[in-house]
Structure 1
Amino acid sequence: MTSFSNHNSWRRQQASFLLAQRKKSFFQKWRKPFLVFCLIAGAVAGAWAVFTVLLTGSNDMEQTAPQISKPTLKPPVSLTRAQVREIIQDVDLVNTGRNVFPAKTAQGIVQVVTYLDVNLTGFLNATLDHLKTLTRGKPTQIAMVVMDGHQGHILAMAGFDLEDKEANPCTRAVYPAASIFKIVTAAAAMDELNFSPKTPLYFNGNKYTLYKRQLTDVKNKYTVKVSLEDAFAQS
């Protein structure tokens, strides 16, 4: 039996096998990065195509869209006091729980915006409700108006007339404001002299008289001591 040995054939086979292994390893190494690159490139190309279509479409819409003229706003009209009075003559501004009201005019319904403080008005109304429950010293008419001393805005209006439920005592000149000096004097004492409602005051004579001798600062056994709060309420 004769055996043959072909070394050259074996070497070529080994070289071919090693080359095939290297090619296989190369493709396995770069296959995933190549696929990822292809996906990213495809996504970018698709996004660019969509952006181009949208941009072209928006330009076409801008070119073909009809031109709409903007309405011209009229400047606000200044009203006289007489016109304002006529507008709000039927608006109930006393004891109200709001600060915006509809009003009828010759041009239609308008909205009247005021400076009324709803919370302050509610506080005054609660005080009025308490006064109505009194059996002694209950007023038949009372009006309370709060005004901003710096701007002149009316912040609250509250009152009642037990004889005329529909009346607004805050805007009626039925009685002269004879005691207005009490409010001015008390406010000045609290503002300038730092008086509080409990600050003691002294007077001689009757509560409801004001003679020259009562204006002297004299304290004797006839002198009466009273707080600012009580003096304001009882004078």
Structure 2
Amino acid sequence: MSNRFKGEWWRDYQRGLRREKWRVLAPDRLSILFVCAGGVFALLAVALLVGSMISEWRSEPKEADQKRAPAPKPFKTAWEGIIRTREDLWPILKDFDPLLYAGESGRVVHYAGKPLTVKTGIDATIQSAVAGLLQRSQTIRSAAVVMDPFSGRILALAGYDQNGKGNEVCLQADFPAASLFKIVAAAAAVEGAGLSPDSPLYYNGGRYTLYKSQLNDKRTRYTHQVALKEAFGLSINPVFGKLGSFTLGQDLLQDFAARFMFNHPIPFDLPLEESRIEVPQTAFGLAEIASGFNKRTLISPLHGALFSSAVANGGVMMVPWLVEEVKDDSGRTLYKAEPAVMARPVGAATARKLRVMMQETVKGGTCRRTLKRLTRKKPFDTMEIGAKTGTINDPTNTHKIDWLSAYVIDPDRKEGVCVAVMGMHGERLGIRAPELGRLILDDCVF
């Protein structure tokens, strides 16, 4: 056998073996191929199914999420939160008439198309009596405020104006404070300068004048000596003029005026004008301010009541309030008054000394012919009465203005009232403020 033949034969033999191997392995490879293909199709099917389930799961909210979802907020009516401050009461009380709002049941008013029941602290009997008294007072304009100094409740808010709109007079700061400012000056003298009601003081000339010649320390045989409480009770201008010029000064007077709420808004349920004062630097200007002998220190009758209320209440001035509560037509309370402290102009010790001075006004001062008469009657014989008066012309020198700021209290039980009365008179004097105050206390309140 040739080598070539042998080589060809070998190669043919090897090719035959490979073909034989392929014939043996071919069925197994096809099986594997089909298995792999089936697996791929199965995976694709599973992927499509899972994708569909995920899509449906995302499109529908979970039950747990539905439980955690916040509930919709309830519908808020127009009245929720409408009365947040006292200024929110102003439009509700537009054209306010105290007598119409007096009484236990209150008054129904309509505001923004909604019925509201407004109940005030006004005493109907006192309000009616005081209003009738002012109408008979023969004054051009007059005002009276009766309040509880311990809670700030307004019991009566009455005004008279011969041209109408009398109820607004109580809230107008258009009237010179006159000697009512001596309450502030006396507070500064006691707490700021260390004086006492019995401190001796001196003056020359008349009690109710104020000249530059009276503002000196010269003492002659005509010089008068008085205690501070007597000077306060008799409202002696030169004594307080000298205190303002030489003892108190501008800074102290400004400080105590601010403590008594001058040049500061007083929160109230109706628009209340701000009382104004300008304390000058000159010696004579300070004398005028301290004695009240000027026409630039302007207050409202309501503010006048707050002067005596702070003294009666141990140096604490409460926020005055008129409206006790406001309810909507469903009975829901939208507003309720809560007694609150507005200022502490003086300490309790100073307040006690100021009460001594205001009692002196009744015992032997400018109220000895009016309020002193009450001390002999019940129930006043067991109560403490203090007051301060004031008289001055208006800024135009056309009308005379007089004042009374007084308190009647049982200091042990912390009960009683404060009253402020302002009267403006023409050529013919009507009933003076101290006498109006006596009538209010005797015939209207007690």
Shorter-chain-normalised TM-score: which range? Answer: 0.3 to 0.5
TM-score, scaled to structure 1: 0.43
Which has more radius of gyration?
1
Which structure has more strand as a fraction of its residues? 2
Structure with the greater relative contact order (CA < 8 A, sep ≥ 6): 1 or 2? 2
TM-score (structure 2 length as normaliser): 0.25
